[in-house]
Structure 1
């Protein structure tokens, strides 16, 4: 028996840092389902598992201690988060608050939305009526329930890398700290998440880069930009794409119709209407000849010709013919392939190993993106 988790559960799990002890043990989950009669069991965190049952036609949740097999939070809540800094965000009768591991209510159920505690504060939101419209406003509270940042932001959420809060007010974006002090003024049309201590900002349809103190390190002159990866930023100038470094110096010139991100020293580029690969010195390593490409992983990349996928090595040699409906990225020497709505595992020589599924669909790394 294999459990299927909803996208909301998966999205919730992905919000936590890798520092927590996570486990997705199907045998344990199946045991809990069988012995406890639960309708679902989520992946466990720090030895605890969220479980659910349908009671009187209503789906409710609690938390069980895996080692003891004992319910520590009764199955009486509409929704629960795992414990962060000793508190769990819980939902009851359409309102959210916080409970501790003894199931004591620490912060009353008065909020419409809540985040999780980080360094002693958590995001909370309430719905207000403004000009006859329902509007969500957000702020920060401490563990005693005291409001430390007023609940008047249109959006407020933690940026994990910087430890700052992405704040929005009057449709203008910026960053504040946990005390409410403005670090980056709320004057931008959009701000991305921090990456490598830098953040991409947008104003009047132009993009630039700021450091963690709000200093402009790349002027807002580009037509698009994403996130820094390995010290490089993919940017668009006019209709063409290239890369700049952290000081704004052009590393890959703006002469490509489209471009991917570097992986294993190579990056996909579109020249004309075909894709190939270049290195950091803009030397063509694999000539443009493919309709679509994916990035290199473990020395191999998936490529598409006439709607069918195959695999090339770093020299551009086709080691798996383009006969498959889809091919995922290699991980530990294996990739999932789809052919005629059946899915198999394939090794780096193109040999099909074990049968995977008959759904015709599968997911790449950690189930984030469906591959068809």
Structure 2
């Protein structure tokens, strides 16, 4: 009995550690490998080129051909392709002998309907274009939604905006319309609070099936994350509205970004600070630029970038460059901290800082991409 319990504990612990593992693609001497969050090489520098992990696999190049490796750095799919895309939903798009097609994680070809163009999978579906119309297919290659829209944009939070007869709506992953295609413009991202929209000359928020017009607005931006406030512009000034389209913070700023963790960057003139959801300036406007909070920290800029905490204290000096990198893989904004680490650039190269400003493994790389989950 004791040995069985020990075995089960080890199995569960191993599964937990595997699930939580993250690796970052790094490059040195024109070769690529992967480090873990301790800064150790989980997969040594060895590949001619490589991409970040996605869906438990990473594309890697050897002798001008591409294949896919597993988390041990072993070839799960041998390098035999001219080009490859990222795995998503258990499927990847590959090019061989001038033909694009889908493969699963065993490298087997997936039968899919003939299309004018093939698209990457995202969130369980891929676009399917035929006769200038767009539909959806699933990971098994079967049609989920017959081509019936003029355009479908990237799925975000399980929803995608669609275009029909020059008007926009939004569908879920089954292809069902959750917002009718009756809007002149529509935001890209579905959130629980609603979606920013325009109908004719009116700007507002679509929430629970209702278009709530924002009085006097001539532009509106979407909600971010689970925030209940979006920002909008009226008379060349920006303020914040709720899902009903009501002004919660009157338009009084020349520039603004979204609320995250209860704080939003705003600016009048050249200097940025942060307000809370009551509109009170809680971090003085003293920065040349400022990004939204992430993981309790926010990037702020003088000549270069550093990081403040939510009290406004400068924790990491403004000595670095930051960039969005390739956050589209996971949908995360990599300008700030993610799970305790921030990707930054110095004169010595790319690296990762913890929340005290300590450099991960005291090591800079020629290039480093954001950490990505390997599961």
Deviations 1:299-345 (A, max 9, x none): 32211111221222222222334332012223465433222x14444
Q: Which of 261, 264, 269 in structure 2 is aligned with 1:306?
A: 269
Q: 1:187 Cα shift?
A: 3.4
- Which residue of 2 is the match for residue 42 of structure 1? 34
Deviations 1:165-191 (A, max 9, x none): 223345532211233221112232321
**Mapping for residues 158-307 of structure 1, pairs under 5 Å:** 158-160=121-123, 163-169=124-130, 171-225=132-186, 226-246=188-208, 248-253=209-214, 255-262=216-223, 264-307=227-270
**Mapping for residues 79-228 of structure 1, pairs under 5 Å:** 79=50, 82=53, 89-98=59-68, 103=74, 106=77, 109-116=80-87, 118-119=89-90, 121-126=91-96, 128=98, 137-141=100-104, 143=106, 145-149=108-112, 154-160=117-123, 163-169=124-130, 171-225=132-186, 226-228=188-190
Deviations 1:248-293 (A, max 9, x none): 3224447521122335322212111101122334443322111011
Q: Which has the higher strand share?
A: 1
- For the 8 Å contact 1:242–1:255, the answer to whether it is kept is no
Q: 1:235 Cα shift?
A: 1.4
Task: Call closer, same or farther: CA 1:293–1:200 in 2, change over 3 Å.
Answer: same
- For the 8 Å contact 1:301–1:311, the answer to whether it is kept is yes
Q: 1:122 Cα shift?
A: 3.4
- Which residue of 2 is the match for residue 318 of structure 1? 281
Task: Call closer, same or farther: CA 1:187–1:126 in 2, change over 3 Å.
Answer: farther
Q: Which of 307, 311, 317 in structure 2 is aligned with 1:355?
A: 317
Flag structure 1 segments of 5+ consecutive residues without an equivalent: 1-17, 53-59, 62-76, 129-135
RMSD: 4.0
- Which residue of 2 is the match for residue 70 of structure 1? none
Q: Secondary structure at the match of 1:309?
A: strand
Q: Distance in 2 between matches of 1:148 and 1:354?
A: 52
Q: Distance in 2 between matches of 1:287 and 1:346?
A: 26
Q: TM-score, normalised by structure 1?
A: 0.67
Deviations 1:102-146 (A, max 9, x none): 956755614432443744x43323464xxxxxxx63334562534
Flag structure 2 segments of 5+ consecutive residues without an equivalent: 1-17, 325-331, 337-342, 345-375
Q: Secondary structure at the match of 1:256?
A: coil
Q: Distance in 2 between matches of 1:333 and 1:115?
A: 30
Q: 1:43 Cα shift?
A: 3.8
The farther-off stretch of 320-329 and 287-296 is 320-329
Q: How many residues align?
A: 309
Higher relative contact order (CA 8 A, sep 6+): 2
Q: Distance in 2 between matches of 1:242 and 1:211?
A: 21
- For the 8 Å contact 1:139–1:150, the answer to whether it is kept is no
Q: 1:220 Cα shift?
A: 1.8
Larger radius of gyration: 1
Q: Secondary structure at the match of 1:149?
A: coil
- For the 8 Å contact 2:62–2:79, the answer to whether it is kept is no
- For the 8 Å contact 1:113–1:126, the answer to whether it is kept is no
Q: TM-score, normalised by structure 2?
A: 0.67
